[in-house]
Structure 1
């Protein structure tokens, strides 16, 4: 069974121990020598690569009996085994995860840039609409001010015409009154015609 990365497996027992075959990994030491038996007295028969997956067959004293990928059955110090996959073995998996995360981040960045661009266009559209409304409001305000000014001028002209009319009315009324007074003064002094007496020659 495959296991994750942790510390080295420390296996030390005083008597031979039989166990079911388990997946282990050689620790990340640069070189791990393997022997033909479970003690330092047995001859070295080769090496295994750091991070290489092996099958644990048996533990005896400070040594573990393993089967390599090539099928060789050898012994190595238990301290050189670990239950977790080595860093070197996990590099391809980690690289794939990094690549996947990078791709996702690139997608998120692209999506965010698209959303920001859309928001920018929306803001520019709203700003243009606001400016258009402001221009229309300013134009209406200008027209309103012009209409009020024109109304003020017309009101002033009307007031002037009313004043002129009143002056003319008073002048006309005064003229009529003056003429009537003059007639009243003149008429009494006009000579009267003598009435003819009827029946006398």
Structure 2
């Protein structure tokens, strides 16, 4: 009876440990999440079909190439590259920060983008300078036309004053003016005298 009890207890006790030991590799493998990574700045890296050198070589991968880290087994890691291809390579060739090649490409892209923006700014500056020069030329032309108009006005004003002065200095004009004044008095004064005489008679 005691032996039966001890065997049943031992089975109950070791059964969870057995299950945990069998499921531990699966749990450890599932705990590794996929994450982006990069190939270190080596010349090239051989890819194997499994986690070790004993597996056949299925290709190479370029330095600095962006990959997806899938899982690891001892000193090897499984990666995904070029869309849906997978392979194994030593973990030492994997970096989770961009390598010098990738950083250089990123810097070149930034430089090209900044050069394009600088070129666009230069074109805008040239356009603005052209518009400013056109506005300055139009302003100078308007000022010149205004100055010409002022000079023409002064000339006409001087000519008019000279004409008026020359008219009154002309003896014929003076004599005509005196004659006209005398004629006016000659026509107006006689018409006033009879009225005064008639008014004196009535008184």
TM-score scaled to structure 1, two decimals? 0.47
The TM-score normalised by the length of structure 2 is 0.46
Computing the radius of gyration over CA atoms, which structure comes out larger, 1 or 2? Answer: 1
Name which structure has the greater RCO, CA cutoff 8 Å, separation 6+: 1
